[in-house]
Structure 1
Amino acid sequence: MKIRLGLLGPSDSIEFVEAVLKNWPEFIFTSIECLAQEDLDEKVTPLLMEEMDMWLCTGPITYNIVQSWNQLKTPVFYVMYKGSSLYKTVLKVLYEHKIDVNEISYDAGNSDAWEQALVEAGIEVKPKFVESETISLKELVHYHFKLWESGQTKAAITGHPIHHELQLLGVPTYRLFPSSMAVEAVITNMLRTYEMLRYKATQIAVQIIEIDPFLGIAKNNFSTDELFRMELKIMEHLLTYTKSIHGSIKSTRFGRYVIFTTRGLMEDITKNFNQMPDIEDFTPLDQEAMTCGIGIGQTVYDAEINAGNALLHAKECGKGSWMVCFDDKKIAGPLGKPEQLTYSYTSEELEALSQKTTLSVMTLNKLKSSLKKLASDELNANELAKYMQIPARSARRILTTLEEKGFAEVVAEEKPHTRGRPRKVYKISPF
Structure 2
Amino acid sequence: MSCKAALISSAEHCDYIRGIMKNIELNYELDYVVCPSFQDLPKVFAEIQNQYDAFCTTGAFAREAILRTHGAAEKPFVSISESPAEFYQILFHLLYEDRTCDLSRIVFDHSLWIPGLEVITALDYAKGSARFDDKKRMEFLARFSLEELLDVDRIIVENAKARWADGAFDLIICRHSYAYAFLKDNGIPCKFAYPTPDNVIDSLVHLQDELSLMQMNDNLPGVVYLTSPSMQSASAEDIIPESIELQKCLLDFDQEYTTGLMMKKALGGFELYTTRRTLQRITDNFTQCRLCTYMLGRLGMELSVGYGIGRDVMSARTHALEAYNLSVKSGKSYVIGCSGSVPRALEDAGVPAEEEVSEKLKKASQDTGLSVMTLQRIRSAINLQGDSDITTQDLAGTLQVTVANANRFVNHLLSAGYAEVVGEKKAPLRGRPTRVYRIEL
- Normalised by the size of structure 2, how large is the TM-score? 0.62
Q: How many Å apart are 1:138 and its aligned residue?
A: 2.0
Q: What are the superposed Cα offsets for residues 61-105 of structure 1, whole Å, 9 maximum, x if unpaired?
A: 543443344377422212122143221123344556744434332
Q: How many Å apart are 1:284 and its aligned residue?
A: 4.6
Q: What are the superposed Cα offsets for residues 172-207 of structure 1, whole Å, 9 maximum, x if unpaired?
A: 221121111001111221111111111111111111
* Partners of 1:95 and 1:287 in 2: CA distance: 79
Matched with 2:172 is 156
* Partners of 1:80 and 1:253 in 2: CA distance: 54
Secondary structure at the counterpart of residue 240 of structure 2: helix
In the superposition, relative to structure 1, how do residues 162 and 88 fare at CA in structure 2: closer, same or farther (>3 Å)?
same
Matched with 1:173 is 190
- Normalised by the size of structure 1, how large is the TM-score? 0.64
- Asked whether 1:126 is paired with 2:129, we answer yes
Q: How many Å apart are 1:145 and its aligned residue?
A: 4.0
* Partners of 1:150 and 1:128 in 2: CA distance: 26
Q: What are the superposed Cα offsets for residues 206-228 of structure 1, whole Å, 9 maximum, x if unpaired?
A: 1111212389xxxxxxxxxxx82
* Partners of 1:250 and 1:326 in 2: CA distance: 21
Q: How many Å apart are 1:2 and its aligned residue?
A: 2.9
8 Å Cα contact 2:53-2:76 kept in structure 1: yes
* Partners of 1:230 and 1:172 in 2: CA distance: 77
Given candidates 281, 299, 302, the residue that maps to 2:315 is 302
Alignment of 1:14-413 (within 5 A): 14-22=14-22, 23-36=24-37, 39-40=40-41, 43-44=44-45, 46=47, 48-70=48-70, 73-94=74-95, 98-107=100-109, 123-127=126-130, 132=137, 133-134=140-141, 135=149, 136-158=152-174, 159-213=176-230, 228-243=240-255, 244-254=258-268, 256-278=269-291, 282-284=295-297, 289-318=302-331, 321-336=332-347
Aligned residues: 319
Gaps of 5+ in 2: 115-119, 142-148, 233-238, 350-441
* Partners of 1:143 and 1:314 in 2: CA distance: 57
In the superposition, relative to structure 1, how do residues 129 and 85 fare at CA in structure 2: closer, same or farther (>3 Å)?
closer
Secondary structure at the counterpart of residue 314 of structure 1: helix
8 Å Cα contact 1:314-1:323 kept in structure 2: yes
* Partners of 1:161 and 1:190 in 2: CA distance: 24
- Identity over aligned pairs, percent: 16
Q: What are the superposed Cα offsets for residues 275-321 of structure 1, whole Å, 9 maximum, x if unpaired?
A: 22256852359577211111111111111111121122223322xx1
In the superposition, relative to structure 1, how do residues 281 and 189 fare at CA in structure 2: closer, same or farther (>3 Å)?
closer
Question: RCO higher in 1 or 2 (8 Å CA, sep ≥ 6)?
Answer: 2
Secondary structure at the counterpart of residue 197 of structure 1: helix
Secondary structure at the counterpart of residue 90 of structure 2: helix
* Partners of 2:103 and 2:21 in 1: CA distance: 34
Gaps of 5+ in 1: 216-226, 339-431
Secondary structure at the counterpart of residue 335 of structure 1: strand
Instruction: Give the number of the structure whose residues are more often helix, by fraction.
Output: 2
Q: How many Å apart are 1:128 and its aligned residue?
A: 8.5
In the superposition, relative to structure 1, how do residues 210 and 331 fare at CA in structure 2: closer, same or farther (>3 Å)?
farther
In the superposition, relative to structure 1, how do residues 104 and 82 fare at CA in structure 2: closer, same or farther (>3 Å)?
same
Q: What are the superposed Cα offsets for residues 8-44 of structure 1, whole Å, 9 maximum, x if unpaired?
A: 1111211221233332142322222114256446655
Q: How many Å apart are 1:322 and its aligned residue?
A: 1.0
Q: RMSD across aligned C-alpha pairs, in angstroms? A: 3.7
In the superposition, relative to structure 1, how do residues 189 and 41 fare at CA in structure 2: closer, same or farther (>3 Å)?
closer
In the superposition, relative to structure 1, how do residues 65 and 36 fare at CA in structure 2: closer, same or farther (>3 Å)?
farther
* Partners of 2:13 and 2:173 in 1: CA distance: 16
* Partners of 1:322 and 1:331 in 2: CA distance: 14
1:56 aligned partner, one-letter code: C
